[in-house]
Amino acid sequence: MEQKVRWGILSTAAIARETVIPAIQRANNAEVVAIASSSGKASSIAKELGIPVSYESYDQLLDDPNVDAVYIPLPNSMHVEWTIKAAIKQKHVLCEKPAALCEADVRKMVEACKQNNVFFMEAFMYQFHPQHQRVKDIISSGEIGDIKCMRASFSFYLRDRETNIRMNAQLGGGSLFDVGCYCVHSIRNLLDSEPVELFVQSNYDEHHSVDMTTGGWMKMKNGVHALFDCSFEMFPQNKYEIIGTKGKVEVSRAYRPDVHGGNGIITVTTDSGESRKEVVCGDQYVLEMEHASRCILEGEGPFYSIDNMIQQARVLEACYTSVKTGNVIRF
């Protein structure tokens, strides 16, 4: 039997209960051994999900010697504190995106994990779905020619606005941090390039002071122009499109193919007039957890590198700077 990483979960957040914990339980090299909550829900959630141990504080879980690693789905503003505390307790860390609200804080997290010799990764689960590697292969083949533009969109209509933490500015709310970060990440990831200039604008909720809709433009180092939009007040979308000199690739379930049984759809259209659809299957959350667990077991760093995580934070911070100043940001 393959050795398994023993995971503890810091929070009973919906993403943990409904998606990540079940994924860990499906993984071949991971298991959930404990869960903690500050809300008093840990015991009932543990019974519901078949988790053997529950704690009523995060510190208690970090003191558990039977926990090898922690998954942190806490509000964005709490990621720094609990990643550093976990590292000090010699726990490996998978932290939900965005890792932190600024580059400086991500660097603090990275340094704490390095000093304590523990694994650290930001949880951008979408990148583990094999449809994105297929897109990269199509681009590399030259089928759609030289890439000139990429567009990415991620939106949904947020209904419970008075109680949802996404609407809390103090907790790191807003559409860019919640879903726009996927657009920015996928542009950097798929194009394998970094922005040299960007300009971003937002519509803010006047009562909650969070961005409800954000749109931006980035000029990449390789010359490609990239556009993105994200929103809490639009019809649901999670897609990207890459346009070349001879054709284009559209990915219509870019970030959440898991809600469609893990089936991603890639549409390729070329200047010959031909169009085809490819269905690519994958369990992205299981693949993410198995990758993180394998790295921990083998003492390796994640394929999604520390430098990449720092750069992601740097770009997001620049996006917010552009929104606040109304200026084009140059790197």
Q: What is the pLDDT along the chain (331 residues), one digit of tens a residue?
A: 579 999 999 999 999 999 999 999 999 999 999 999 998 999 999 999 999 999 999 999 999 999 999 999 999 999 999 999 999 999 999 999 999 999 999 999 999 999 999 999 999 999 999 999 999 999 999 999 999 999 999 999 999 899 999 999 999 999 999 999 999 999 999 999 999 999 999 999 999 999 999 999 999 999 999 999 999 999 999 999 999 999 999 999 999 999 999 999 999 999 998 899 999 999 999 999 999 999 999 999 999 999 999 999 999 999 999 999 999 999 9
- The residue among 312, 308, 290 whose CA lies nearest residue 98 is 312
Structural domain boundaries in the chain: 5-123, 127-282+314-330
Cα 315 to chain centroid, rounded: 14
Residues 110, 72: Cα–Cα separation, whole Å: 15
Global pTM reads: 0.97
What the block records as the tokens of 281 is: 């299957």
Domain 5-123: state its class.
Answer: alpha beta
Taking CA atoms, 87 is separated from 94, 116, 224, 303, in Å, by 11, 6, 38, 20
CATH 3.40.50.740 for domain 127-282+314-330, yes or no, is: no
- Residue tagged 């490819």 (tokens): 278
Distance CA 151, CA 64 (A): 45
Supply the Cα-derived Rg of the chain in whole angstroms.
20
Distance CA 100, CA 80 (A): 6
Burial group, residue 171, by CB count within 10 angstroms (0-12, 13-18, 19+): middle
Report how far residue 223's alpha carbon sits from residue 98's, in angstroms, rounded to the nearest whole number.
26
Residue 281 CA to residue 265 CA, distance in Å, equals 9
